[in-house]
C-alpha cells in the first residue's frame, strides 16, 4: 500500500506484516503483507471469512505469534523482536480479549484472582480488592460475585470478566478477537453497548475482529476486509457499506440479511463459485480470481496492489485501477 495508511500520530501501526507457517506440504501464508494504522480513539473493524488471517494479525501484534517479517509500532516505537523485559511495560498498553470467554479464563482461579492477575504480574501487587471491585462495576458485574469461579457465570458475564482483566492496566489499545460471536444475540448487544461506553469513558482504541458485518458496522469507524491473508479493501464504515469497491466486499455485503422483507426478496445475492486455493499453494495473480465473478485475464497474471482509488478508500482490484 506504499505506506499510504501508516499515518502520523498513529497509536498502532502495522506495516507489511507477514506470518508464514512452514508445514510438510509447503508454507501456509496466514498473513501475507498487511498494512494498517489505528489513530487514538478509533475503532478499526477487521472482517473476513474464517481462516483469512484476522486472528493471526492480532496474535502477532501482542506477541503470541512471531511475525515472519514486517514492522509493528506502538506509539511510534517498533515492538517486534524486543526482549521480554523491554516488552513487559509495553504489553500493558495493549490488551487482547478472546473469542471464547471460558477458554481464556483459568477455571481454577476465582474471578477476583483473574482480574487482579495483571496487577501482580506487572506491579507485584496483591492488595487489589478495591481495584477489582471497581473494574467489575465498570463492566456491569456485581462485586459480591468476585469470589466465584468462571463456571458459575454465564457466557456474557465471563466475557465481562475478560474485559475487566484487560482494562486493569489502563491499556491504550484493545484487540478484540470475535468478542461477541460466542454469545447469544441479546447478550451480544449488551456487550457491544458496554464496549462503546468503555471506549468513550477511557478513550480506548479498538481493533475489532469479526466475521459478522452487521456487528462491525455498529462498532467501527473504518473497516478493513481480509481475504487469504491480505487486506483487499479498506475505507471508512459508511463508504464500505454504501459503495464497496472490491468484488469480495460486495459478495460479503450481499449475504447480510435486510430487515425489510420486501427489499430482502428483491435484492440480488452474489454467490461465489469456484474453489479456494490450497493453503500451501503458490498463488499467481489475484488470490480472489478463482471465485470472482468479474475476473479477467490480467487477474491471473498480476496480483493487484492495495491502492487508494477514491479519497480514503483503498482496494486491491484491477477493476478499480486508473486507466
- Shared-domain flag, residues 112 and 55: no
Q: Phi, psi (5° rounding) for residue 173?
A: -125, 135
Residue 86 pLDDT grade (very low, low, confident, very high; cuts 50, 70, 90): confident
Cα separation, 51 vs 57, in Å, equals 11
- Where does a domain end: 169, 189, 213? 169
Task: Let me know if residue 267 belongs to a domain.
Answer: yes
Looking at residue 322, its pLDDT comes to 54
Task: Let me know if residue 98 belongs to a domain.
Answer: no
Domain that holds residue 162: 103-169
- Where does a domain end: 169, 193, 226? 169
Q: What percent of the chain has pLDDT over 70?
A: 93
Q: What is the mean pLDDT of the chain?
A: 89
Task: Let me know if residue 240 belongs to a domain.
Answer: yes
Task: Let me know if residue 1 belongs to a domain.
Answer: no
Cα separation, 236 vs 314, in Å, equals 10
Looking at residue 231, its pLDDT comes to 97
Mean of pLDDT values over 300-322: 90
Looking at residue 323, its pLDDT comes to 41
Alpha helices for the chain (secondary structure H): 54-62, 84-91, 111-123, 129-138, 155-167, 185-202, 213-219, 237-242, 247-254, 261-266, 297-301
Residue 281 pLDDT grade (very low, low, confident, very high; cuts 50, 70, 90): confident
- Shared-domain flag, residues 80 and 198: yes
Mean of pLDDT values over 59-85: 90
- Shared-domain flag, residues 213 and 87: yes
- Shared-domain flag, residues 120 and 253: no
Q: Say which residue, 259 or 23, is predicted with more confidence.
A: 23
Mean of pLDDT values over 86-98: 88
Mean of pLDDT values over 305-310: 91
- Shared-domain flag, residues 112 and 199: no
- Shared-domain flag, residues 78 and 184: yes
The radius of gyration of the chain from alpha carbons, rounded to an integer in Å, stands at 21
Contact 104, 98 (CB under 8 A): yes
The pTM (predicted TM-score) of the whole model is: 0.90
- Shared-domain flag, residues 155 and 183: no
Mean of pLDDT values over 77-85: 84
Cα separation, 227 vs 292, in Å, equals 12
- Which tens digits make up the pLDDT trace of 45-61? 999 988 899 999 999 99
The three three-digit cell numbers of residue 145, written as one number: 460475585
Mean of pLDDT values over 84-98: 87
- Shared-domain flag, residues 72 and 203: yes
Looking at residue 78, its pLDDT comes to 92
Residue 39 pLDDT grade (very low, low, confident, very high; cuts 50, 70, 90): very high
Number of domains in the chain: 2
Q: Nearest 5°: CA angle at 16, between 313 and 41?
A: 55
Residue 272 pLDDT grade (very low, low, confident, very high; cuts 50, 70, 90): confident
Q: Say which residue, 261 or 29, is predicted with more confidence.
A: 29
Looking at residue 5, its pLDDT comes to 43
Looking at residue 102, its pLDDT comes to 81
C-alpha torsion 71→222→307→64, nearest 10: 20
Per the document, the length of the chain is 323
Task: Let me know if residue 6 belongs to a domain.
Answer: no
- Shared-domain flag, residues 157 and 210: no
- Shared-domain flag, residues 78 and 220: yes
- Shared-domain flag, residues 211 and 244: yes
Looking at residue 258, its pLDDT comes to 63
- Which tens digits make up the pLDDT trace of 213-264? 888 988 999 999 999 999 999 999 999 999 999 999 999 988 776 665 555 5
Task: Let me know if residue 196 belongs to a domain.
Answer: yes
- For residue 310, the surrounding DSSP H or E stretch is strand 307-310
Looking at residue 14, its pLDDT comes to 96
Task: Let me know if residue 2 belongs to a domain.
Answer: no
- Shared-domain flag, residues 223 and 301: yes
Q: Specify the CATH number for the domain of residue 248.
A: 3.40.50.300
Task: Let me know if residue 5 belongs to a domain.
Answer: no
- Where does a domain end: 118, 138, 169? 169
Amino acid at each position: 500500500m506504499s505506506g499510504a495508511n501508516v499515518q502520523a500520530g498513529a497509536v498502532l501501526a502495522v506495516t507489511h506484516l507477514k506470518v508464514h507457517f512452514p508445514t510438510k506440504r509447503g508454507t501456509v501464508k496466514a498473513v501475507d503483507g498487511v498494512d494498517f494504522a489505528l489513530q487514538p480513539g478509533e475503532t478499526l473493524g477487521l472482517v473476513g471469512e474464517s481462516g483469512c488471517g484476522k486472528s493471526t494479525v492480532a496474535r502477532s501484534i501482542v506477541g503470541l505469534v512471531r511475525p515472519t517479517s514486517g514492522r509493528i509500532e506502538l506509539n511510534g516505537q517498533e515492538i517486534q523482536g524486543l526482549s521480554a523485559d523491554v516488552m513487559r511495560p509495553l504489553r500493558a498498553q495493549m490488551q487482547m480479549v478472546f473469542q471464547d470467554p471460558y477458554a481464556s479464563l483459568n477455571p481454577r482461579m476465582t474471578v477476583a484472582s483473574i482480574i487482579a492477575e495483571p496487577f501482580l504480574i506487572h506491579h507485584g501487587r496483591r492488595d487489589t480488592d478495591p481495584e477489582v471491585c471497581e473494574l467489575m462495576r465498570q463492566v456491569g458485574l456485581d462485586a459480591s460475585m468476585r469470589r466465584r469461579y468462571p463456571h458459575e457465570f454465564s457466557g456474557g458475564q465471563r466475557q465481562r470478566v475478560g474485559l475487566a482483566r484487560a482494562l486493569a492496566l489502563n491499556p491504550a489499545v484493545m484487540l478484540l478477537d470475535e468478542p461477541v460471536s460466542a454469545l447469544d444475540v441479546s447478550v451480544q448487544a449488551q456487550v457491544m453497548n458496554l464496549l462503546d461506553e468503555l471506549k468513550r469513558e477511557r478513550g480506548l482504541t479498538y481493533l475489532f475482529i469479526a466475521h459478522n458485518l452487521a456487528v462491525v458496522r455498529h462498532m467501527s469507524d473504518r473497516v478493513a476486509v481480509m481475504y487469504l491473508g491480505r487486506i483487499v479493501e479498506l475505507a471508512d464504515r459508511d463508504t464500505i457499506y454504501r459503495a464497496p469497491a472490491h468484488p469480495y466486499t460486495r459478495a460479503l455485503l450481499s449475504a447480510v440479511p435486510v430487515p425489510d422483507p420486501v427489499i430482502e426478496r428483491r435484492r440480488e445475492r452474489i454467490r461465489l463459485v469456484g474453489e479456494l486455493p490450497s493453503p500451501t499453494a503458490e498463488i499467481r495473480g489475484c488470490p480472489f480470481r478463482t471465485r470472482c465473478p468479474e475476473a479477467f485475464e490480467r487477474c491471473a497474471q498480476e496480483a493487484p496492489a492495495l491502492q487508494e482509488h477514491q479519497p480514503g478508500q483503498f482496494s486491491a482490484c484491477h477493476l478499480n485501477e486508473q486507466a
